[in-house]
Copies of this chain bind each other. A is one copy, B any other.
Amino acid sequence: MYIESALTRHDVTEAFPPHALTPQGPAHEHPAHPAGGVSLQSLFAKQPVEKFEAGTAVFWEGDAASHVFEVTEGVLRIFRMMNDGRRVITGFVYPGDLLGVSLERHYLYTAEAVTPVKLRRFARARFQHEIQNSPELRPQLFARLCDEMAAAQDQMVLLARKTAEERVASFLLVIARRLGAARETMPVVEIPMTRLDMADYLGLTIETVSRIMTRLTQRGVIEPNGRHAIFVRKLRLLATLAGECEEKAGVLHEAAPVRRAVWPQ
């Protein structure tokens, strides 16, 4: 159990045409730096693009942490394993996100392509150099770290105290918001990862995830559209089921905060 096998390339490319997982529009957008200056994106722009097939690892937990990556297309899972094979996915990485930023000598987690992935890399030393010499890039990197920290705290709340239904609802809500489906009244939410991925991310089993998904379907909250996409039919109800705090429990677009890299410059 807990053996994750690769999706076949065919399977994935069919389910996720390139446009779905490429940064575009206001969805999951990292702040373009004001005043047309340098951005983290533009820093990586000159590096050659590398491709990874679905199911392959970009690096492994314990590898020497030699590079920093920027994802330009596709989705990855970040996970750690316990001795006996228990797996915990600590996050998913989307286009525009950075990967491998840390102080340790070795990567603390494995990064594996969920879908076909395209990314660019920097040698760590060079990335350091670029960052430390750019008063424009530093606050951007800092902002990314803070966002990641906030997400980690949300996840801790989810794992520590939420029920299975609340966990699944929270997850669906987050990816609905991330994919920027806000503009549509009946948002289609792409779910690139497998049920096992969801389970290992939510601290549940595949069976429980599956049961909750069918229950949400039966209640008309969501409507499946193939294995890897759903329509969200009752967004407000979904938010309620997610057990969110009031201030967050608005509709989709309210949840996309205006993230500004205000400091330290």
Q: Which A residues are closer than 8 A to B by beta carbons? A: 62, 80-84, 86-88, 90, 102-104, 108-109, 128, 131-132, 135, 138, 141-143, 145-150, 152-153, 155-157, 159-162, 200, 202-203, 243-247, 259, 261-265
Q: Given the complex, which residues of B lie within 8 Å of A152, measured CB to CB?
A: 149, 152-153, 156
Q: List chain B residues, Cβ under 8 A from A143.
A: 103
Chain B: CB-nearest residue to A201: B160
Q: Determine if A88 and B128 form an interchain contact, defined as CB atoms under 8 angstroms apart.
A: no
Can you pick out 10 interface pairs between chain A and chain B where the beta carbons lie within 8 Å of each other?
A103-B146, A103-B259, A103-B261, A108-B153, A109-B153, A128-B263, A131-B264, A148-B149, A156-B159, A159-B159
Q: Find out whether the CB atom of A153 lies under 8 angstroms from the CB atom of B265.
A: no
From A109, A156, A243, residue with most partner B Cβ within 10 Å: A156
A263 contacts across to B, CB distance below 8 A? 103, 128, 131-132
The 7 A-B pairs at the shortest CB distance, nearest first, are namely: A160-B203, A159-B159, A132-B264, A128-B263, A152-B152, A131-B264, A103-B146
Contact of A149 (CB < 8 Å), options: B88, B138, B145: B145
Return the chain B residue nearest A245 by Cβ: B83
- Chain B residues closer than 8 Å to A147, beta-carbon distance: 103
> Assuming A131-B264, A146-B103, A264-B132, is B138 touching A80 (CB within 8 A)?
no
**A170 nearest CB across to chain B (Å):** 11
Select from chain B the residue with minimum beta-carbon distance to A139: B132
Complex Cα distance, B243 from A259, in Å, reads 38
Q: Which residues of chain B have C-beta atoms less than 8 A from A243's C-beta?
A: 82-84
Most chain B CB within a 10 A radius of its CB, from A81, A148, A159, A200 = A159
Shortest beta-carbon distance from A68 to chain B in Å: 11
Assuming the contacts A82-B243, A149-B149, asked whether A157 and B88 have C-beta atoms less than 8 A apart, the reply is: yes
Given contacts A159-B159, A262-B103, A264-B138, contact A80 B149 (CB under 8 A): no
Q: Which residues of B contact A88 (CB under 8 A)?
A: 156-157, 160-161
Collect the chain B residues with CB atoms within 8 Å of residue A162's CB: 82
Partner of A90, one of B80, B141, B156, B265: B156
B82/A146 in contact, CB under 8 A? no
Residues of B within 8 A of A149 (CB): 102, 145, 148-149, 152
Q: How far is the CB of A154 from chain B (nearest CB, A)?
A: 9
New A-B contacts (10) at CB < 8 Å, excluding given A102-B150, A132-B264:
A81-B245, A83-B244, A83-B245, A86-B161, A103-B259, A128-B262, A145-B146, A148-B149, A156-B159, A159-B203
Q: How far is the CB of A199 from chain B (nearest CB, A)?
A: 10
